[in-house]
Amino acid sequence: MESNEQAWIDLSLIPRPWHIEITGCEHPWAERPVVVHKTRLDELPADTPNWQRAEAYRLEITEGRPTISAESEPGLAAARRTLRQLTARETVPDLRIADRPAYEWRGLNVDIARHFFGPDELLRVMDIMADVGLNRLHLHLSDDQGWRIEIPGLPELTERSSHTSVGGGPGGYLTRAQMDELARAAEDRGIALIPEVDVPGHTTAALHALPGLNPRNTPDVYEGIEVGISTLTEALPETERFLAAVFEGLGRYGAAGIHIGGDECLLTPPDEFTRLVARAAHHVRKQGHPVIAWQEAAPVLEAGEYVQVWDERQDFAEVAEAAARGVGIIASPATRAYLDMKYTPDDPIGLTWAGTTSVREALEWDPKDLVAGVEPGAIHGVEACIFTETIETFDQLTYMLLPRLAAVAEVAWAGSGIGQWDSFSRRIAVTWRR
């Protein structure tokens, strides 16, 4: 019987399964009916959480005939994903795979505010995500450079601020009908949408569209890439109307959570910042949805909500305090999971404020090491991010995503990529190598 590692390598499985054993010889692969059993998986430990049971599966191939078993539809879908990878080969050995993900939240954040990517491109992104076992598509829908989502009651946002982007590009936005279709397509792929409108900073597009949000002059459209240049103002009556309309307008897409941003608010006084993000959180909570925020907003979050950790240069004391009261941590360290960082200094696109990130660096890390002093169970997930200041086309987007997204996805599914480079580099498709 081959070792697990050698079987992963020989079969080029990504992400790597929890357990695999080769039980017999190779057979030429021909399409055959798949036997499906929805049944309890007795090989899982008794204390396996329900979310993990839901995505666990068993795949057995005997004399070229596949059987998949799982306790629910997400597990069956994961089994079919692995079977598709196996059957891309001309021959497939008899084998048994038992698998389950390490983390419930396995995400990708796509910024469509700096440069706009529309429904067709986002559908293709979701297909890539499904291929590597990711299950959360976080859409960064607003920023200084553009507003990308229709909000009932505030048509000015798209009328005045959706047609701009970094460098003067064409812009664009998602209609409600398009968001509805994306939500249905995501569900078909086992992916939940996570809408984000970032407040109180990153708001120049909103300030341009709604003069009542401005204590002084309405700002011009912004086509640069600086951060920390804008803020909402608590004292203006329009601010509360804006927050209510936006976060309640996102509610139909927020079952898995609504992201309120909260990062890089360099112009917002600290006490006012806390009150503003608390008001945004209030409008999410009253709809019964989990609140998600970047790490700077950790103090306003409550048990059962999520803090997304991105900037390793900051003190994580407030993140640790939030985790102690039951807030889940989403690990997105910029040096590992920000896929808008250049692969090397010579790359023509990408940023370098967090350094460069090779495929190996995107793989070889453990989310449990990110925030010192928190219990391993506080880490609820892993999310890659791609911000699009320098990314204008879909080809550029996929160039920056692949193969690093597969590396981050392996960390999210298997729990860690430390010590796996030799295996991963041999498993990854030749066309994805950097």
C-alpha–C-alpha distance, residues 142 and 148, integer Å? 6
Structure tokens at 423: 């295996």
Helix (H) or strand (E) holding 319: helix 317-324
The residues pairing with 111 across neighbouring beta strands, listed in sequence order, are: 140
Interacting residues of 68 by C-beta distance below 8 A, sequence separation 6+: 34, 35, 36, 37, 57, 58, 59, 60, 76, 79, 80, 83
Annotation says 226 is catalytic: no
Q: Which of 2, 264, 272, 312 is catalytic?
A: 264
Q: How many CB atoms lie within 10 A of CB 338?
A: 26
C-alpha–C-alpha distance, residues 66 and 77, integer Å? 14
C-alpha–C-alpha distance, residues 377 and 381, integer Å? 10
DSSP string, 161-221: HSS--GGG-----B-HHHHHHHHHHHHHTT-EEEEEEEESSS-HHHHHH-GGG-SSPPPPP
C-alpha–C-alpha distance, residues 129 and 147, integer Å? 25
C-alpha–C-alpha distance, residues 204 and 229, integer Å? 8
Buried b (16+ CB within 10 A) or exposed e, 54-83: bbbbbbbbeebebebbbbeebbbbbbbbbb
- Position of tokens 């499985």? 13
What burial class does residue 122 get, using C-beta atoms within 10 Å of its C-beta: 0-12 exposed, 13-18 middle, 19+ buried? buried
Q: Which residue numbers are catalytic?
A: 264
